[in-house]
Amino acid sequence: MRYKIRGVRRKWKRIYPQFKHKHKLIVMDANSYVEKFSFNLTAINLFTIIGLSTILLIIITSIIIAFTPLREYIPGYSNPKQEKITYENKLRIDSLTNYIRLQEMMIDNIRLVINGEDIPSADNYISSKDSVNNYDNIEINPSKKDSLFRLYVRKQEEKLRGKSKYETIKNYNFHPPVKGEIINYQEKNIGIDIRIEANKAINSIDDGVVLLVINSSNENSLIAIQHKNSFVSIYKNCQNILKKHSQEVKKGEVIGFTSPIGKKYNFPYLYFELWEDSKNVNPLDYIKF
């Protein structure tokens, strides 16, 4: 073992002077051979300069990657702005999906009404269960403040339900579709029949977008309009409907004319319905005829 150590020492003593041996690097002009500049180098100095340059290059590269947009091109790094945009787009898609589903439900209900069929209960529309998270075992115990707030909201809802017909009409200020005599309305009915002269103009009750148009030679001709605040108005037994699907209408604008045909009665009439949040409501509580 000692002989091996001594051998290594002898080799190091022979190699070490070579590291300290000075070399001169001269840069000369290729044509005139005039010396431009020169400097002395040793092997130790050369290795030191190369090592420090390598470390400095690594540090500069790390700083550029960490604090500049270049890091986005390296696998594993994410873009916070892009993640935020993606999350917001997911929320928009989810909202649009729910809105489209509600619109489809409303159109289905309108078609059922046109065909004289019963509208299914809202309990039949069961939302899809979350396939990712299970919330069945979550227990929510309302606090005292929460219970008091719920009681306050319930009382306010009861006050709103108890508002008079005049207050409701004043709040919404709908334009009457026609001026006529209400000849058939009962609590169990969905809409109302309004006795009116033939070829009388029918007006939109508010600004909105045409949701459905059906032209027919019998009493099934109708137009449905989507209004703000989730209201939908339906005008049946029309003729010469002036609006088309997806067309915008203004409050009080003429959308068609009353039909002279009346199989239900021996005189012309307009059948009118008003819906709020996919539920039919009494038009007399919202419109002054």
Residue type, position 148, single letter: L
Share of the chain above pLDDT 70, in %: 74
Tokens linked to 18: 């070579």
Tens digits of per-residue pLDDT, 109-142? 787 777 766 666 555 554 555 544 555 666 667 6
Tokens linked to 220: 């099934």
Mean pLDDT, the chain, rounded, equals: 78
> How many residues appear in the chain?
289
CA angle 186, 203, 201 (to 5 degrees): 100
- Assess whether pLDDT exceeds 70 at residue 88: yes
Tens digits of per-residue pLDDT, 175-189? 999 988 888 765 556
Measured distance CA(134)–CA(21) in Å, rounded = 76
Q: Report residue 220: phi and psi, to 5°.
A: -85, 0
Tens digits of per-residue pLDDT, 52-87? 999 999 999 888 877 777 777 776 666 777 778 888
Q: For residue 131, what pLDDT is reported?
A: 47
Q: What is the CATH number of domain 167-285?
A: 2.70.70.10
Q: For residue 126, what pLDDT is reported?
A: 47
Q: At what angle do helices 43-67 and 2-20 cross, to 10 degrees?
A: 80
3-state secondary structure 207-259: CEEEEEEECCCCCCCEEEEEECCCEEEEEECEECCCCCCCCEECCCCEEEEEC
Q: Which residues contact 79 (CB under 8 A, 6 or more apart)?
A: 72
Sign of the four-CA dihedral 282, 232, 224, 110: negative
More confident of the two residues 95 and 207 = 207
What value does the mean pLDDT take over residues 261-275?
Answer: 83
